């Protein structure tokens, strides 16, 4: 198990931004670790504004195999979505790392607008 990375102050982020959404399977791995965790940790090390992982309850991708959480299903490889938000330049600079890690899955980019970016201490960073 790796030690938690030290907390750091968030840099201000508001206005136009880019959101990368990466869809992979929860059982996908990178060097025996969950792929989604590797993506989040690399995004953190790259200094991106934020990344979150959400577990899906059902879905299918390019292979057309439906993955579901239902009890009678044989599939346990549920879909996960990793959302990364930052300025367009910073997200695009991170794309080569995503390309290295994601060999099966879907990566989409969306323009978005950051309305509010607040840390746990309640300090508004915008």
**pLDDT one-digit tens code per residue, 15-35:** 899 999 999 999 999 999 999
In the structure encoding, which two tokens stand for residue 3, read together?
């030690």
Measured CA to CA, the distance from residue 99 to residue 102 in angstroms comes to: 6
Measured CA to CA, the distance from residue 122 to residue 42 in angstroms comes to: 25
Q: Which tens digit of pLDDT belongs to each residue from 48-107?
A: 999 999 998 777 776 656 666 655 555 567 889 999 999 999 999 999 999 999 999 999
**pLDDT value for 35:** 97
CA distances for 31 relative to 28, 38, 48, 62, 125, angstroms: 10, 9, 23, 23, 35
Q: Is the dihedral of CA 68, 105, 56, 7 positive or negative?
A: positive
**pLDDT value for 123:** 46
Phi, psi of 38 (to 5 degrees): -65, -40
More confident residue, 59 or 112: 112
DSSP 7-43: P-PPPP--EEEEEEEEEEETT-EETTEEHHHHHHHHH
Measured CA to CA, the distance from residue 106 to residue 55 in angstroms comes to: 15
Q: What pTM does this model have?
A: 0.79
């Amino acid at each position: 198990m790796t030690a938690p990375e030290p907390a750091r102050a968030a840099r201000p982020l508001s206005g136009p931004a880019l959101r990368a959404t990466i869809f992979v399977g929860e059982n996908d791995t990178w060097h025996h670790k969950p792929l989604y965790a590797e993506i989040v940790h690399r995004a953190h090390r790259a200094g991106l504004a934020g990344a979150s992982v959400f577990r899906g309850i059902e879905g299918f991708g390019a292979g057309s195999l439906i993955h579901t959480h239902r009890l009678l299903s044989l599939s346990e490889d549920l879909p996960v979505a990793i959302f990364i938000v930052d300025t367009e330049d910073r997200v695009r600079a991170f794309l080569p790392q995503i390309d290295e890690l994601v060999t099966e899955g879907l990566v989409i980019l969306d323009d978005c607008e950051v309305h509010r970016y607040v840390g746990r201490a309640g300090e508004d960073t915008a």
